[in-house]
Amino acid sequence: MKLLLVTLVYAALSSVVPVFNMEAYIVVAYAKSDHAALEMALVGSLGQNLGKLAWYYVCRQSLDLPWFQRRLQTPKRQAQLARWGAIAQENQLMTGLLTFISALVGVPPFFAMAMIAGSLRINVLVFFVTGFLGRTLFFWAILGGTHLILR
């Protein structure tokens, strides 16, 4: 149980501070534990997505900062933000799919996707659930490969 809690915390930290490599951590933690791969993947994914929520909300609030407001004063910038925001709101299935793919394969980088999602005010539930599913499958695949090598 202690390892799962440490994994959750490390996963959250690694998603906020990218210097901490979650993929390397989860492989080593799994190799030294008796936890199931899916269990480790779920905990790692939960921690990663909780950390990504921090980036999501920081970027969501950043549009209210004076620096951004000055950047958005031109009609061209206002139109761009409005257009992309409308696309994100109208196409939640597409937004969820993009978030899922980002969390699963890293293209676009999930780190950047969290910031984009917050800036465009993508539905937070869509962002969290699809990110959680994608990251869980990502970690589960990594641990499945690790399992084949170790056992």
Model confidence pLDDT, tens digit, residues 125-139: 999 999 999 999 999
* CA gap 96, 88 in Å, rounded: 9
Mean pLDDT of 117-125: 91
Mean pLDDT of 22-40: 94
Helix axes 2-16, 22-31, angle to 10 degrees: 170
- Residue 11 tokens, joined: 């996963």
Is the pLDDT assigned to residue 143 strictly greater than 90?
A: yes
In the chain, pLDDT over 70 holds for what percent of residues?
Answer: 97
Considering its fold, how many domains does the chain have in total? 1
Domain around 143: 2-150
Q: Name the band, by pLDDT with cuts 50, 70 and 90, for residue 151.
A: low
> Which span out of 30-34, 46-50, 110-114, 147-151 was modeled with the highest average pLDDT?
46-50
